[in-house]
Amino acid sequence: MSGRTFFGHPWALATLFGTEMWERFSWYGLRAILATFLAASPAQHGLGLSQETAQAVVGVYGALIYLVALPGGWIADRILGSRRSVFWGGFIIMLGHISMALPVSSPFFVWLGLLLIIAGTGLLKPNMSVMVGRLYPEGDDARRDAGFSLFYMSINLGAFVAPIVVGWLADGDRWHLGFGAAAVGMAFGLAQYIRGGRHLRGIGERPVHAQHHLFWRVAGIAAATAIGLGAWAATGTLTVDRLTVAITVVILIVPVAYFAYILLGSHELTEDERIRMKAYVWLFVAASVFWMIYDLAPSKLLFFARDHTDLSLFGIPIQPATTQSFNPLFIMIFVPVFAALWVRLGTRVSTPQKFAFALIVIGLSFVVMAIAAALAGHGRVSVWWLVLVYLIQVFGELSLSPVGLSVTTKLAPEAFKGQMLGVWFISLSVGDAVGGQTGRLGRVLSEPMYYLVLAAMAIVAGIALFMFARRLRVMMAEHHDPVIR
């Protein structure tokens, strides 16, 4: 390869690496303090929501972030192109963080900021990955995989540093200073993107399937949604709680409708493709249960860190938000270990077995949380309990998340190849939304029992998946001859 390189890869990867790192800094920085800000009293410059409502808001916020990746990719393919989508997405995200950073008491700018961040992330997030893939010629799979490994390192670097920095800045109820740091992070990312734009050599400049007239259709849908919410607000019955429930219901409908569309329509699917999709539905449900628990980190576990732990590591005081850095740290440590493990095990461990293992592991992590919560009834416990929980959870994530991406592309019918990765992200959306609503169980369950109930759900689901793993493996065509029509 001639010219300047980035660890042996096209220098354009350095541009995308830096942009993604700072965007993830802004995202994880906000996420690390959002729930505690929402639940803080007005005297503490927060919104004064209950912990249950704050958990629901964080849940649907994360859910919408993943859900809007579908229309974001569609807009890039047909209207803006990937390169402009990333720029405008980053710009809108920055405006969202600035809106939240305004030192005013009105909650309007908080909700506006979250809405802008959701919209901007939908444009930026899926199209960054698309542009990384286009840096490499067809057939250069090995270097492309290595390039994505470097790219994903940028995600975890941003995710590791952000909670530490933003949590420290927001200490003492200086929430808007923390939100401002997230805005600065996104501004750095945009500057990096613009400065390094010349290295992208026209990649993603034009939409793949240009249909500019569809812009007005998108605008029409957005306007109709705004009008509907306005009409609901005018009735006087719109509350934050009810809105989170309504969004959760809509998110649950999306995958049901989509799988029904695929399986009940013709679409020239072969019998083999239909069987594979039926197997994938069960993996999708398993993944949703996993994310339901895993993504309680920025809400339920954050509140536990703040209210029930001695926030000190090796004698050094830390902020509640700093506990959100444990997960990306463990991911960076164990990714190469698990990558080598899956290569060594080969086909001896099937995808359903890996999913089942992940469910049981995530369930066991909440058994540990139940023990910690029971001990916390007698006084604050060591923050090392949370370190242990996040360590266990990472073992589950590395057994499910990369495997899920891989199996999604493998089982996707030919007619839906370009859409199925978006469907995988809907499993995260479903899990986040439902997980956010589980906070309401705290009204009828003790805290240890809350964790045990969710743990039991995951463990039972994991055992059931283990029992049917052989059957699912056959349905996935690992031992199934394709049917030719």
**Most confident stretch, 230-239, 350-359, 454-463:** 454-463
Q: What pLDDT was estimated at residue 424?
A: 85
List, for residues 179-222, the tens digit of each pLDDT value. Answer: 999 999 999 989 988 887 776 666 656 655 555 555 666 677 77
Q: Which helix (H) or strand (E) holds 310?
A: strand 309-310
Q: What is the pLDDT of residue 229?
A: 81
Which residue has tokens 């390094």?
196
Of 67-71, 179-183, 249-253, 367-371, which range is least confident?
67-71
* pLDDT score recorded for residue 10: 74
Of all residues in the chain, the percent with pLDDT exceeding 90 is 53
The pLDDT of residue 1 is 47
Give tens-digit pLDDT for 29-55: 999 999 999 999 999 999 999 999 999
pLDDT recorded at residue 270: 82
pTM assigned to the model: 0.88
3 or 293, which is more confident?
293
Check if the beta carbon of residue 28 is closer than 8 Å to that of residue 186: no
Which DSSP letter does residue 48 get?
Answer: -
pLDDT value of residue 7:
64
Q: What is the pLDDT of residues 378-409, one digit of tens each?
A: 999 999 999 999 999 999 998 898 788 778 77
Around Cβ 161, how many Cβ atoms within 10 Å? 18
The CA distances from residue 414 to 270, 417, 419, 420, in Å, are: 9, 5, 10, 10
pLDDT tens-digit readout, 85-136: 888 999 999 999 999 999 888 899 999 999 999 999 988 887 777 777 777 7
Q: What is the pLDDT of residue 485?
A: 34
